[in-house]
Amino acid sequence: MTMRRIKAAAVNPEYARRLQATPENPFPACEGGDPGTPEKRSIWVFGLEPGYSKRDEQADVEQRPQEPGFSAYSVELQLGWPYNRSCFKLLSAIEGLRVEGYSRFARDRRCFEKGCIGYFKGNLYPEAFNRMSSWPDWAQRDIAATKAEYQAWCRETRFPEIASWVRRFRPKLFIGVGASSRQDFATVVYERGVDFQEKRFHINGRAKVIYIGVTDSPTPLVVVPHLSGGPGGLNSNDAIQKAGDVIRSLLEQPSEA
């Protein structure tokens, strides 16, 4: 208990207050979409932390929050980001479509956009950085002295909050993006570590692995490799299509997952 208080105290209290859920912002630091209900369940897609490119940095300087569609997280805005395009491709495949039609699929379903139905998007860690190892001066000043302290605070406060959302809304599928962090995703979906079943396939001679949480929970957890670079990532249309097909087959036969 003492260690828990020390870690939590390492985070700026003002920052902690800004991350608290409110009626106006019930899902702080999530991008958007529809969390669903236990009766009309959604697919949730969670990464580790929001990406932050040089393009984003320049756009922030130019006051991107005033860009049309930003506050609604519009599909048209999202289509400018490689990660979101890959998300749309994966969802297309899960829904039984070809990934090449991802743009039409996203525009038809309005994936993750404010007011959409059936898809919700967020991240385990709330702040956007260019790399997972990044911890710039402003973060040291405004959040915590080190990124390790920030991540410890997120594990103690944000992970249980996400877990409470999962209990409340019961997503029909929780997709975690980042295979090496699969136990972190298990913590927010099941509130504990779990065993994982591996589904392995090859694209152009490269092995790809999808991890399926082995539990009797009503929310299946699937953890996929990163949706971009790296030899093990879902870095091509063929890889994303196959991953989506595998996930769809699991949803069609939940008793075997």
Condensed to tens digits (0 to 9), the pLDDT of residues 37-76 reads 999 999 999 999 987 555 554 444 344 444 555 678 999 9
Contact 20, 160 (CB under 8 A): no
| pLDDT tens digits along 140-163 | 999 999 999 999 999 999 999 999
Q: What's the pLDDT band for 3 if we cut at 50, 70, 90?
A: very low
Answer whether 113's CB lies under 8 Å from 72's CB. yes
What's the average model confidence in pLDDT over 96-100? Answer: 97
CATH code assigned at 117: 3.40.470
**Domains contained in the chain, number:** 1
Q: Which domain holds residue 101?
A: 2-19+28-256
| 240, 215 contact by CB (below 8 A) | no
Percent of the chain predicted with pLDDT > 70 = 87
> What does the pLDDT look like over 119-141, one tens digit per residue?
999 999 999 988 888 999 999 99
Average model confidence (pLDDT) across the chain: 88
Specify the DSSP element, H or E, that contains 57: helix 54-61
Mean pLDDT of 168-179: 97
**pLDDT at res. 61:** 39
Tell me the mean pLDDT in the region 191-208. Answer: 94
How confident is the model at residue 69, as a pLDDT? 57
